[in-house]
Chain A
Amino acid sequence: MRLDRLSLVRSTAHAFLCAAWLLTGCGRASNPNETVLTFSGSALGAEGTLVAKQLQRFMQLNPGIRVELQRTPDDASQRHQLYVQWLNARVGNPSILQLDVVWTPEFAAAGWVLPLDKYGPPRAEFFPATVTANTWAGKLYALPWFADVGLLYRRTDLVPNEPKTLEEMVADAQAAMSRRGGPRYGIVWQGARYEGLITGFVEYLGAFGGRIIDDKGEVVVNRPEAVRALEFMRDELYKTKVAPLDVLTWHEEEARFAFQNGNAVFMRNWPYPVAAMSDTAQSKVAGKFAVSPMPASGTAPSGHSTAALGGAQLAINAYTDHPDAAYKLIAYLTAPEQMLERAQAVGQYPTRPALYNDARLRTAIAIPLDNARRAIESATPRPVTPIYTELSEILQIELHRALVRQAEPGDALNSAAARINALIERTGMRKLMTGAAKDSAP
């Protein structure tokens, strides 16, 4: 009896050990001369097939390196949470991390990803904004893999010419709405209280010449330009009434449905809806829309056409045993050929301006290459700071309060600035930020 129990305990313990062993991947017999890398990132559907294909090719070119795919959640904030937990535990896997554009400074300042400068990365071959977004304290920490960029979609049957200014856009929208049988909405965007609201705000902010944090690291989000930008957004809802109040609860998809069903003249969105909206089976606006960069305000001398920058970057886990091999893989995946292939397979925009002269890209991304390139060139990274996520949360709340008329734009932005400054003090960022801004100013 006693013996039985003991053996039961033993076999259970054994089972647990085996399970743990398998989980950590030690279960497989491995070649001691082989370097094993783990790659994590979006691996769903067509993207998954593409990544698997490219990794396979990389392994053929580099016989000493084996790459394993480690699945991570597709939802950005879930992936972020997982990465942070692993890195706090100093786990070396995955050796290559896929970072959202706003995470790089956070991971760099925490010492979780390695600077790439010693490998001589081809900085000049990427769009400057994508390099700035990945630079912290003067060092480059990740290479831009693909770019996402805010675009203005327009119904060409209602507004044939690209509006030159924000004011013109509103006038065009009003004119088209007042036509017989014209769409219900003038412009639709993402106004729910989430990260998407910040990306939209950044575009209006640039259009009026404002910024959230300036090059000296000062919080300037309550300056007059910023207040005017927020007032302009609010006027679209309550004064010129080109945007429906519904947008204050909308994300990307709700805006796409409205535009795709022919209910809106303009839409602010990322490039991804182009494919679905060009499909006559599901779209009422196929062949009747065009994209262009978001225009600047005609009333602000320092305003400029601005697009929010999104997209993914690849970085090396600071705890990996094989940083050199990891860089090799990153360099391979961000090389022109792989980027072009990615654009062709899943329509994601390359981060290399040279590719926009390539005829093969034209068929891949379905919109005029020149418009795409202009939009990315006007792209502005959101504040490049390790405390971005909390900064963004503060701003999301205050912007939303102003847009739902719980607060006046000026008051909301003053409150945002005060809270962001408090955040900077609390986290000891002041010194770090001024230093970093000087080093990374383009």
Chain B
Amino acid sequence: MKKISRLGHEARLGWTLVAPALGVIALIAIFPLGWTFWESLHLHELRMPWLGKPFVGLANYIEIAKDPRFWAALGHTAFFTVVSISLELLIGLFLALAMNRVFRGRGFVRAAVLVPWAIPTVVAALLWRFIFESQGGIANALLVDAGILGQPMVWFIQASTAWVPVILADVWKTTPFVALLLLAGLQNIDLTLYEAAAVDGANAWWQLRHITLPLLKPAILVTLIFRTLDGFRVFDLIYVLTGGGPGTSTEPVALYTFNALLQNLRFGYGSALSVVIFAITFGLAMFYVRILGVRLGGEES
């Protein structure tokens, strides 16, 4: 009896102690989310007060489902996420393997590699915009000098070429971050495994495939979570580089939402878009957490 009441007392104390934290979470996460959802069930156009603010149920969501621009934006986002993350993982792994070797000046190299990551995205995007400017941009100058292009090209007026600077900029900026996460994973691998493999006559490729990659899986999954969610929310990079153009052919969902919510001040519709993005990223996060949870658990046992 006494024990239980003490436990109850401790539980109460526990709840009391976490209450402020829970309150903060409710205030900054749950309340705005609930409000956004409530808003998304209304017709609410800040610019058109004569429409009032009637409850419209799921009408905003139906409009989204019927809106080709939304589906196109979703496609662009997925394309951007898949292509840029694949490149980042590949190059990042290569960098991490290189940085994991013992060589002189390793600390300096590791710090230097992080420089692109430290530059604010908007600044980096502007930089890449200058590089790919049609007049006097260095990309055109190099390609024309090398004889690859006959004359300077206007990169931002075709969807296919407008993606090039966008993806390059993201890969350039984020690969260091990926490399660092993977490097941390590499350092957790027990070196004796390699020694044993070497004694058994395994070559470097075999070691990479059968020791490094399997043991690096948790680090890769963590990287994937971070990068997928980031990729899905991509906004500033594209806002500065292409503005979503030409037409709307590089517009991601975040930019489309920004446009509906803050340019056109369609609070109802924009909120519905925000809820949809939230649902998608939440789903992705849950998916990864489950995979990751299973893997981590599997390794512990």
Contact across chains for B51 and A404 when beta carbons are under 8 A apart: no
Chain B stretch 137-188: residues in CB contact (< 8 A) with chain A: 154, 156-159
* B46 interface contact, C-beta 8 A: yes
Contact across chains for B262 and A248 when beta carbons are under 8 A apart: no
Q: Knowing A88-B49, A397-B248 touch, does A245 contact B154 (C-beta < 8 A)? A: yes
One of A245, A400, A427 near B245 (C-beta < 8 A): A400
Q: Knowing A389-B264, A404-B158 touch, does A427 contact B247 (C-beta < 8 A)? A: no
Q: 11 new A-B pairs (CB below 8 Å) besides A81-B262, A110-B47, A393-B259?
A: A77-B263, A81-B265, A88-B49, A110-B49, A245-B134, A246-B134, A246-B135, A249-B134, A249-B154, A406-B249, A427-B51
Determine the chain A residues whose CB is within 8 A of the CB of B247 once the complex forms. Answer: 193, 397-398, 400-401, 404, 406-407
* A301 interface contact, C-beta 8 A: no
Q: Knowing A81-B262, A246-B135 touch, does A110 contact B246 (C-beta < 8 A)? A: no
* A442 interface contact, C-beta 8 A: no
Determine the chain B residues whose CB is within 8 A of the CB of A246 once the complex forms. Answer: 134-135, 154
* B243 interface contact, C-beta 8 A: yes
Contact across chains for A428 and B245 when beta carbons are under 8 A apart: no
* B236 interface contact, C-beta 8 A: no
* B39 interface contact, C-beta 8 A: no
**Main DSSP-derived SS at the A contact region:** helix
With the chains together, A77 CA to B243 CA distance in Å? 15
Contact across chains for A427 and B45 when beta carbons are under 8 A apart: yes
Q: Knowing A81-B265, A246-B154, A248-B157 touch, does A404 contact B48 (C-beta < 8 A)? A: no
Contact across chains for A84 and B245 when beta carbons are under 8 A apart: no
Contact across chains for A88 and B156 when beta carbons are under 8 A apart: no
* B103 interface contact, C-beta 8 A: no
Contact across chains for A400 and B246 when beta carbons are under 8 A apart: yes
Determine the chain B residues whose CB is within 8 A of the CB of A407 once the complex forms. Answer: 247
A399 and chain B: residue at smallest CB distance: B247
One of B47, B157, B158, B246 near A106 (C-beta < 8 A): B47
* B205 interface contact, C-beta 8 A: no
Q: Knowing A81-B262, A390-B264 touch, does A193 contact B246 (C-beta < 8 A)? A: yes
A-B complex: 3 closest residue pairs judged by Cβ atoms? A401-B247, A404-B246, A245-B154
Q: Chain A nearest CB: distance from B131 CB in Å?
A: 14
* B35 interface contact, C-beta 8 A: no
Chain A stretch 5-63: residues in CB contact (< 8 A) with chain B: none
Determine the chain A residues whose CB is within 8 A of the CB of B108 once the complex forms. Answer: none
With the chains together, A400 CA to B157 CA distance in Å? 9
* A109 interface contact, C-beta 8 A: yes
Chain B stretch 224-277: residues in CB contact (< 8 A) with chain A: 243-249, 259, 262-265
Q: Chain A nearest CB: distance from B96 CB in Å?
A: 37
* A224 interface contact, C-beta 8 A: no
A258 and chain B: residue at smallest CB distance: B135
Determine the chain B residues whose CB is within 8 A of the CB of A85 once the complex forms. Answer: 46
- Number of contacting residues on A, CB 8 A? 30
A398 and chain B: residue at smallest CB distance: B247
Contact across chains for B154 and A386 when beta carbons are under 8 A apart: no
Contact across chains for A428 and B51 when beta carbons are under 8 A apart: yes
* A111 interface contact, C-beta 8 A: yes
Chain B residues close to A by CB (< 8 Å):
45-51, 134-135, 154, 156-159, 243-249, 259, 262-265
A-B CB contact pairs (8 Å), 7 listed? A194-B243, A248-B154, A248-B246, A249-B154, A249-B156, A397-B248, A404-B157
A428 and chain B: residue at smallest CB distance: B51
Determine the chain B residues whose CB is within 8 A of the CB of A110 once the complex forms. Answer: 47-50
With the chains together, A397 CA to B263 CA distance in Å? 15
A77 and chain B: residue at smallest CB distance: B263
With the chains together, A397 CA to B247 CA distance in Å? 5
Determine the chain B residues whose CB is within 8 A of the CB of A428 once the complex forms. Answer: 50-51
With the chains together, A389 CA to B260 CA distance in Å? 12
Chain A stretch 164-216: residues in CB contact (< 8 A) with chain B: 192-194
Interface 1/0s, chain A 280-299, versus B by CB < 8 A? 00000000000000000000
Chain A stretch 238-274: residues in CB contact (< 8 A) with chain B: 245-246, 248-249
With the chains together, A83 CA to B244 CA distance in Å? 26
Interface centre among B154, B157, B259, B265 (most CB of A within 10 A): B157
Determine the chain A residues whose CB is within 8 A of the CB of B48 once the complex forms. Answer: 109-110, 386-387, 427
Q: Knowing A389-B47, A427-B48, A427-B51 touch, does A401 contact B246 (C-beta < 8 A)? A: yes
Determine the chain B residues whose CB is within 8 A of the CB of A193 once the complex forms. Answer: 243-247
Q: Chain A nearest CB: distance from B52 CB in Å?
A: 10
Determine the chain A residues whose CB is within 8 A of the CB of B49 once the complex forms. Answer: 88, 110-111
Determine the chain B residues whose CB is within 8 A of the CB of A404 once the complex forms. Answer: 157-158, 246-247
Determine the chain B residues whose CB is within 8 A of the CB of A109 once the complex forms. Answer: 48, 50
With the chains together, A393 CA to B265 CA distance in Å? 13
With the chains together, A56 CA to B137 CA distance in Å? 48
Q: Chain A nearest CB: distance from B63 CB in Å?
A: 9
Q: Chain B nearest CB: distance from A197 CB in Å?
A: 11
Q: Chain A nearest CB: distance from B122 CB in Å?
A: 15
Q: Knowing A84-B46, A246-B154, A406-B246 touch, does A393 contact B51 (C-beta < 8 A)? A: no
A248 and chain B: residue at smallest CB distance: B157
Q: Chain A nearest CB: distance from B265 CB in Å?
A: 6
Determine the chain A residues whose CB is within 8 A of the CB of B154 once the complex forms. Answer: 245-246, 248-249
B152 and chain A: residue at smallest CB distance: A246
With the chains together, A407 CA to B249 CA distance in Å? 12
With the chains together, A398 CA to B135 CA distance in Å? 25
Q: Chain A nearest CB: distance from B128 CB in Å?
A: 14
Q: Chain B nearest CB: distance from A127 CB in Å?
A: 27
One of B46, B159, B243, B264 near A88 (C-beta < 8 A): B46
Interface 1/0s, chain A 70-89, versus B by CB < 8 A? 00000001000100110010
Contact across chains for B47 and A84 when beta carbons are under 8 A apart: yes
B63 and chain A: residue at smallest CB distance: A426
With the chains together, A407 CA to B265 CA distance in Å? 28
Q: Chain B nearest CB: distance from A327 CB in Å?
A: 23
With the chains together, A245 CA to B49 CA distance in Å? 41
Determine the chain B residues whose CB is within 8 A of the CB of A400 once the complex forms. Answer: 245-247
With the chains together, A75 CA to B47 CA distance in Å? 19
With the chains together, A389 CA to B266 CA distance in Å? 12
A407 and chain B: residue at smallest CB distance: B247
With the chains together, A404 CA to B246 CA distance in Å? 7
Q: Chain A nearest CB: distance from B61 CB in Å?
A: 15
B158 and chain A: residue at smallest CB distance: A404
With the chains together, A84 CA to B245 CA distance in Å? 27
